[in-house]
Amino acid sequence: MRQSTAAAAILVWLGTASTAGAAEFKNEIGMTFRLLPAGTFTMGSPSDEPSRDQDETEHQVTISRPFYMQTTEVTQGQWQEIMGSNPSHHADCGPDCPVETVSWFEVQEFIETLNRRTGHNYRLPTEAEFEYAARAGSTTAFANGPITQTSCDFDPALDAIGWYCYNAGDSVQPVARKQPNAWGLYDMHGNLWEWCADSWDGSPYAPEPVVDPLSPSPSADNNRVIRSGGWATEAWFVRSANRDWCKPHYRNDFLGFRLVLPAVDPGQAARKE
């Protein structure tokens, strides 16, 4: 596939080489990002996928612009670096474990502080971007294969790529200890549920094709989408298509996040002028 001019310019900016078709870079506080291509995929789950929910209507989604996705959840060390404290219930897990026990509102404060410090434009992924990244071109329940167990039993595909109630030992785990998906992203299945940008109203997806979907701007009390499943959840929660929600003020030790960055970053463009 021929690189676009914008993507080539980004590679020059980062000073990195292409790996499996995607540029990778590390920012000022050690967050690593992969450049994901624009593309079209089927969001949701087929009717015969074990334990699917009725809100997972299959529909075509186009992600019209490439974007950078953090390769892991934001870690406790990265949160400490920006916010000066560590709110995690599992703080004894160490700086390489994902930060948890953070509300959606607290995540917004982190992002605002990080953006002021770096001059970039980091944000939470949309729900569509998250599933697109989690699938990494796959169409099965997990990025590396179909689901064979829906409970806390051994599932060979999931055990290789994610932390869930079968293998996590009743605790969050350090990031990037399982296999990455085809796009070099870790822990997209399990370890922690992850906040997304979208609000949630409980409705199934509409079946019509959409481009760059994002739910309308939510009010302060609207539920927010969470994705990925976590260290305490059964295997079916960890499927690429699975959706859930939490109130934005809610915090728990199974809930964290990762960031995305637009491929054309206004902060970097301003510094190059």
Q: What is the pLDDT of residue 221?
A: 73
Please report which residue ranges of 75-151 form alpha helices under DSSP H: 76-83, 104-118, 127-135
Give SS3 for 171.
coil
Give SS3 for 15.
coil
Give SS3 for 92.
helix
The separation between CA 131 and the C-alpha centre of its own chain, rounded to angstroms, equals 8
CB count in 10 Å sphere of residue 225: 22
- Tokens 């948890």 found at: 100
Residue 45 is assigned to a structural domain of this protein:
yes
Is the full-model pTM beyond 0.85? yes
- Tokens 């000073």 found at: 15
Strand arrangement of the beta sheet that strand 18-19 belongs to: 18-19, 22-26, 32-36, 67-70, 260-262
Q: What is the pLDDT of residue 248?
A: 95
Total number of domains in the chain: 1
Residue 12 is assigned to a structural domain of this protein:
no
Give SS3 for 200.
strand
Q: What is the pLDDT of residue 1?
A: 30
What is the DSSP annotation of 61-80?
EEE-S-EEEESSPPBHHHHH
Residues 6+ apart with CB under 8 A from 126: 196, 197, 198, 212, 213, 214
CATH of the domain at 268: 3.90.1580.10
Name 226's bridge partners: 195, 244
Residue 146 phi, psi dihedral angles, 5° rounding = -75, 165
Are residues 192 and 151 in contact, defined by beta-carbon separation less than 8 angstroms?
no
Are residues 111 and 122 in contact, defined by beta-carbon separation less than 8 angstroms?
yes
Domain that holds residue 218: 18-272
CB count in 10 Å sphere of residue 72: 22
Residue 4 is assigned to a structural domain of this protein:
no
Residue 217 is assigned to a structural domain of this protein:
yes
Q: What is the pLDDT of residue 105?
A: 96
How far apart are the C-alpha atoms of 105 and 123, rounded to whole Å? Answer: 12
- Tokens 């920006």 found at: 82
Handedness of CA 149, 178, 54, 224 (dihedral sign): positive
* Residue-by-residue pLDDT tens, the chain, 273 positions: 333 333 333 333 333 333 333 489 999 999 999 999 999 999 999 999 999 999 999 999 999 999 999 999 999 999 999 999 999 999 999 999 999 999 999 999 999 999 999 999 999 999 999 999 999 999 999 999 999 999 999 999 999 999 999 999 999 999 999 999 999 999 999 999 999 999 988 889 999 999 999 876 656 678 999 999 999 999 999 999 999 999 999 999 999 999 999 997 555 433 433
Residue 2 is assigned to a structural domain of this protein:
no
